[in-house]
Amino acid sequence: MFYSLSMPLSDHEKRMLQEMEAALMTEDPRLVSALSGTGAAKTSKRVLIGFALLATGILVLFAGLISKLTPVGVLGFVIALIGVVSVISSLGKVSAPRNKRGAGLTSRLENRWDKRANDQ
């Protein structure tokens, strides 16, 4: 899943790696999606949709101003506002700092690795 090694792994190493991946999937699925790249694709898609909504909202807003129809202008403002909120929330997910839980996960995985290495 996450690995691409040039030298083959033994069956025991493959099994241990699969167990570690499964534990990581259950402990922190957001990290897994970020590492696999699926989260970044969704985020960039949301940002693009947000900018498209912003541009559409501005166009509708100006159309309402030109035609002197207040409801159309208000609709354009609402669409643009939704676009801005979408962009900000999507970018906030990308730049959000990692919490302490990630450090605990790393420590637990290292402890499991050391325990399995000592058991052999």
Among the listed residues 59, 63, 57, the one whose alpha carbon sits nearest the alpha carbon of residue 77: 57
Q: Is position 101 within any domain?
A: yes
Q: Is position 88 within any domain?
A: yes
Q: Is position 90 within any domain?
A: yes
Tell me the pTM: 0.48
Q: Is position 89 within any domain?
A: yes
Please report the pLDDT score of residue 38 as a whole number. Answer: 59
Q: Is position 16 within any domain?
A: no
Looking at residue 8, the DSSP 8-state letter turns out to be P
Q: Is position 10 within any domain?
A: no
Residue 35 to residue 11: CA distance in whole angstroms: 24
Please report the pLDDT score of residue 92 as a whole number. Answer: 72
The pLDDT tens digits for 58-113 are: 999 999 999 999 999 999 999 999 999 998 888 776 554 455 445 677 888 888 88
What average pLDDT does the segment 7-29 reach? Answer: 82
Please report the pLDDT score of residue 52 as a whole number. Answer: 94
Q: Is position 54 within any domain?
A: yes
Range of the domain at 78: 25-113
